[in-house]
Every structure is written in structure tokens, then in C-alpha cells.
Structure 1
């Protein structure tokens, strides 16, 4: 349990001071979106912010689309450091010791963001409402977690193999539909897909079903049906893309940006958006970080719709704001999760339920798979 990592000690005086400071600066920071040149070059020039991102190609995109333009506008230098996939313990240590190895993290999921916020590990600040007025509440209700990109998980397939369009997760279980199949070697996503295939509506009904032992048994009974027909259990997102690209499988539930990459290379694939889920990845500032206000300027700067488009579109991720689509080519925007035609078919991942039940799901799934 993640909760076991935390022994929270309230810091009410510090929180009050921060809120008073931030209240007086909100108007100035909001104006910085429209006029980034006023961000305060004179007072901030020469400072360096260390931002923990995913590394590799992601750092390259963020360097070109965000870090370098911000540095040019403000004189604040940005240094990227590679973010741990599970940085909870690192965040806790930094907050407790006040020894900050990075000033902000970007790319962590909503489950991490919610945990940080619930346990006082990140700075709280209020963003101008207009920046998020077109976002559903599911991705903007964690205080101090700022959505940066939106990812979707759904079913990808090869029409030349299936000989027909897929319209539901139940189609994966329908062996009259041709094509080789793969499922993730992951308790959460595979259990979710099994319950969808068995008629449980995508969304909150899944978590409700799994409140009882009968619900868990129902999921594994459905998995029993398809287990002999799964050619490969993929282990990570790049693996799912590789087996599609190699032609090893034709039907794969995975992250839609993996299909986006392959389709950009000419692969003839389809994304079945129906019954998929979405989740947000975003910014968080370690609690007590003395550079918090400078990071807030970077975050506000990043939320400009055109800058969102430049970061998200090359990776196949969705932008937090629909306003960004006017800066993305139409043929590309139609493959992104937050395009209105796609987003309307997705449901939010219940990160709170899975945050509490992820270990249980993986343990039970691995035991079932080994049988």
C-alpha cells in the first residue's frame, strides 16, 4: 500500500504563508500566459530549474517545445533529469529532508498525483479557471497536480486480418473474428477488459463489480475463456507496439499513442476508441521547494494551447485543452485521445480504486496466469 510510505506531519503555518503569497501572485501569473515576456526576467534570470521528465525522446520534444522557449523568454535555465517510473519514495524523502534533487516532476500519473496531494507532498496552487474550463472534472480535481498530457488505453487491431471493424471489447473474445490476439501481462488492464467483455460497462461499474469476491471470480472466469487463444502476453508498451509491427498479432489492447506511432510510419491499423479509458499525466512540485513560484511560471507557460500542441501531438498524446487542436494538423488530431470524436467514447480510469487494489490485482492475475 502506498499509504504505508507516508507519516504525514501537518505544516499549517507554512501552508497558510504559501497560500497568502500565491493569492497575491495569481493575477500576475495568469497574465503571463498571454504575455510571457512579463514573467520577470530581471528577478529570475540566472536561476536554474531541474525538471524530472521521462527522458529520451520525451526530453527532446520538451526541450524544443517548452524548455528552450521558456529559457529564452525568462532567462531561467531548465535542466532535465530522468524521472523514476515510481518516484513516491523519492518525493517523500525530498519533502522530509528539504533536499530537492528536482524542482518539479512532469509525466507522473493521476494515481501518483492524488497520493501526493492526499499526503501533503506537493505544493498547492490555484490555476486560472479559464485554463481548464474545457476539461472534465476527472482530470482537474487533484489540488496541485496539473494535467500536461492525456493518454488513452484501448483496443488496436489490423483490419486486413480481422476482415471487419471491431466495435466492443467483447469482439476480442469472439473467435469468429479472425486475427491473432494479445493481452497485457497486467492485472489491472486485463481484468478491466475481461469484465467489459462480460458485459460490465466501462467506467465506475468496473470498480463496483470488484467490490465483491464474486466480481473478481467473474473476471477470471471470462479470462479462462480466452486464455488458450492468447498468443502473446505483452509486458510493456514498447513490446505491444513491437508485436503489432512485426505482424505477430492482430488485436492488442494497449496505449493508443503506440498505434499513432505505427500509423505515422504507414502501418494499416485501427483504433477502437469505444470502451477505452483515459488518464492524465502531469506536473507536481515537491512541498516546500524554495523554487516553487518559478516552477509555477513554467507550468503556466506550458499551458498555452499552441505549446500544448507542440508537446503532445508528436507523441500521440492528447492535450489537456481542446483549444490546442487548432494548432494540430487535422489528420493527426483525429488520432489523439482528446479529439472530441474520440474523447466522447472514453471513460476515465478509476485511479483511486486501482491505486488501492493494484497489488491485489497483479498477484491474483500472476497466480491465474501460472496455472
Structure 2
């Protein structure tokens, strides 16, 4: 979005990308189209919480009911959304973010955060090694260590649904071919094959109608309609706005306090 506004990214002609045109408007922008989805979720140790596990950001903030070591990402994107949901904001009412309210809520939990992680690998390691009892993490990272035998799990409830996107650089020498590629890349069948190889969901919801993704596999994916309905859809338009840029700058001073 920023690149498009700065003249670095081509504006897409969706009449030439019918597969993308058929996707929900919220899954694309004038300059890009969602390719795959992942989620920032509440993950936890099943050893610490064998029965009554935390199931919302309200629970994450409740250090009395759910005592334990906690970790959050050292970045405002998704973290501010989680803080607002912990303060009672509904997932579909987050934007525009009330930044002051979010940082005030983060001040509450800050003394209880053991680690502010900076990479997906680190977040997975924290859970795997038992260094933290609960944290915000990306769903694929949690699934990966769970498959290796770690006693960890997560909930999609109040997850923040995020996407990687495809776009075309301004002045691309093979523009026509790039447009065809994007259309093929978000073809429902091609998209349905993505989660057979990685724990992230297809960007095109029609992938779930192809029959390629079995119901039990679909239920594990962040963009599966029932799972998506439990989550907040990240607004990249807000984060690329002046307000979003200001929130990113404010994060640095929050962490330095």
C-alpha cells in the first residue's frame, strides 16, 4: 500500500485478474491481492494448562486466574489489536485503532511479560523449551513444534488474521506475464494445494470449495471460514496510514520506558 502510494507498485487491473476479482474486497487492495493467511494467536503450554486453558486476550491479561510467564511480540502490529480485545473491543470493531487505549492496556501487562520476542523461530523456541507458559505467536510456528511433540496448543478465538500478498513492481518489463501469474497464483485449485504443504491458509476462500482440502485439514487453517469468523482481519490500510505509522514510532518509546 505504501509502495503503491509512492509510485513503486503497479495498480492492478482486476478485470484481467478474474480469480482475484472474485475474492472478498477485504482480501485485496488496488495494488495487491492476498496470497496466503496466517494468524497471530494466543498459544499456551498444555503442561501448565492441561484443562482450563486461556482462550482470549482477556484471559492473557488475567494474571491471577491464569498465572505464568508470558511473551509478546516486540512489534505493535497485532499486539495493539490484542490489547484492545483484552480491553473489551470486539474483533470487528477494532479499526481505526484507539492507540491511546491500546498502549494504556499494554502498560498493565508489561510487568508480566518475560520476553518480547523478535522472530517467529524465537517465539516457537520459547514455548518448546518451556520458558513461557503463554504467548502471542504465529499459528504455523506453534503447529510446527506441536508436530515435533511439544505439549503446546493455541486458539483461533480472537486471533489476528494476517496475509502475505502479491504485487507487481512499477515498470515491470513483463507486466502482462506478471498479471497472468497473479491470476494463476490465486486460482482456487492452486490455492487449495498450499495448505497441503504449510500450516497457512489460502488467500482465496474458494479454495475451500474445491474438495482438495479435506474437512479435518480445513479446520486447522486460519482462513477457513469458521476460523476466520472468530478473528479480527488485519487492516493493512490502517497500518499504512499516518496514524499507523505514528503508532509504530510510538512503540519504540513504549519499549524503552
Normalized against structure 2, the TM-score is what?
0.85
Distance across 1 between alignment mates of 2:121 and 2:71? 14
Report the counterpart of residue 89 of structure 2 in structure 1.
200
Q: SS in structure 2 opposite 1:309?
A: helix
Deviation at 1:122, TM superposition (A): 0.9
Measured at CA, do residues 180 and 369 of structure 1 come closer, stay the same or move farther in structure 2, by a change above 3 Å?
same
Match of 1:245 in 2: 128
Measured in 2, the distance between the counterparts of 1:130 and 1:301 equals 10
How far, CA to CA, are the matches of 1:331 and 1:269 in structure 2? 19
Aligned to 1:149: 36
Equivalent of 1:336 in 197, 210, 221: 221
Whether contact under 8 Å (1:195, 1:206) holds in the other structure is no
What is the match of residue 44 of structure 1?
A: none
The within-5 A match list for 1:253-268 is: 253-268=136-151
Structure 1 distance, partners of 2:22, 2:147, is 28
SS in 1 for 2:59: helix
What residue number does 2:234 align with?
A: 349
The change in CA–CA distance for 1:320 and 1:364 in structure 2 (over 3 A counts) is closer
In 2: Cα distance, 1:134 partner to 1:227 partner:
43
Q: For residues 273 and 369 of structure 1, do their structure 2 counterparts lie closer, same or farther at Cα, with a shift above 3 Å needed?
A: same
Shift of 1:173: 1.2
Structure 1 residue 126 corresponds to structure 2 residue 9:
no
**Cα 1:221–1:302 shift into 2, 3 Å:** closer
Equivalent position of 1:191 in the other structure: 80
Residue aligned with 1:188, SS: coil
Contact between 1:188 and 1:358, CA under 8 Å: does it hold in 2?
no
Task: Give structure 2 stretches of 5+ with no counterpart.
Answer: none
| Structure-2 separation of matches of 1:296 and 1:357 | 32
Q: How many correspondences in the alignment?
A: 251
**8 A Cα contact 2:16 2:179, kept in partner:** no
How far has the Cα of 1:292 moved from its partner? Answer: 1.0
Asked if residue 279 in structure 1 is aligned to residue 162 in structure 2, the reply is: yes
**Structure 1 residues 189 and 146, CA, compared in 2 at 3 Å: closer, same or farther?**
closer
The 5 A counterparts of 1:210-249 are 210=99, 216=100, 218-249=101-132
Q: Which has the higher contact order (CA 8 A, sep 6+)?
A: 2
Q: Write the distance in 1 (CA, Å) between the matches of 2:79 and 2:203.
A: 27
User: Are residues 1:138 and 2:26 paired?
Assistant: yes
C-alpha offsets along residues 193-223 of structure 1, whole Å, 9 cap, x if unaligned? 222211122344352523xxxxx1x333322
Aligned 8 A contact 2:34 2:204 in 1: no
**Residue 30 of structure 1 corresponds to which residue in structure 2?**
none
Q: Say if 1:136 and 1:165 are closer, same or farther in 2 by CA, change over 3 A.
A: farther
Which residue pairs with 1:300 in the alignment? 183
Change (3 A) 1:185 1:148: same
Where does residue 180 of structure 1 map in the other structure?
69
> 1-side partners of 2:15 and 2:6: how far apart?
21
* 2:254 equivalent in structure 1: 368
Moved more, 129-138 or 282-291: 129-138
SS at match of 1:241: helix
TM (norm. structure 1) is 0.61
Sort the Cα spacing of 1:350 and 1:322 in 2 relative to 1 into closer, same or farther, 3 A: closer
* Conserved? CA contact 1:156–1:269, under 8 Å: yes
